[in-house]
Amino acid sequence: MNKEKKGKHFIKKPFYEGGLKAMREFISKNKQYPKEALEGKIEGTVYIKYKINYKGKVIGTKVLKSLGYGCDEEAQRVIKLMKFEAPKNRGVKVKFFKNIQIHFSLSKEKDKSAIEIDLHSQTNLIYTISPTKKKDNTPDKKQGGGYTIQIK
């Protein structure tokens, strides 16, 4: 007679389907940079504690470390959109608390040493010359520079 094996933990925790990588993709896809933060060029991280009910729905959020400029509200909005897989816990309706960090960063600007030449305003042809760099971010004088041609 074989006994059924029980799980390691008495209470099973909810999980995001697809794991951490899928959660990061969901957040980055649904997150919108707030207008105020863009105008002020604000970057940073918002720390949030959120509550998940026994059905896997996020029912509450609390900002632990604020960034301001609309970033806190946007991070809370995205967290509330998430759905978790909540396993059955022997008929007990359990609420879970988790913490998460939402990063807000502006896209990297073009290299300051790059030179742009507008060849002809009617053709919208832009020629960009930028020096290649070594791993320590110093210009390499032995090798030639790179170039990019953008046609709009």
Q: Supply the DSSP string of 41-84, one letter for each residue.
A: T--EEEEEEEEE-TTSBEEEEEEEE---TTHHHHHHHHHHH-B-
pLDDT score, position 70: 93
Domains present along the chain, CATH in parentheses:
19-104 (3.30.2420.10), 115-151 (no CATH)
Please indicate, yes or no, whether the overall pTM of this predicted structure exceeds 0.75.
no
Across 122-141, average pLDDT: 54
The pLDDT value recorded for residue 52 is 96
Which tops the pLDDT comparison, 108 or 114?
A: 108
* CA separation for the pair 45, 31 (Å, rounded): 13
What CA–CA distances, in Å, run from 59 to 37, 82, 89, 91, 131?
26, 10, 18, 20, 51
- Mean pLDDT for the chain? 79
- Ranking 64-68, 106-110, 143-147 by mean pLDDT, the lowest is 143-147
Interval 39-78: pLDDT, tens: 999 999 999 999 999 999 999 999 999 998 999 999 999 9
Beta strands in the chain (DSSP E): 44-52, 58-65, 96-104, 115-120, 125-130, 146-151
pLDDT tens figures, 4-42: 666 677 788 999 999 999 999 999 999 999 999 999 999
pLDDT at residue 24 in the model: 94
pLDDT on residue 7: 67
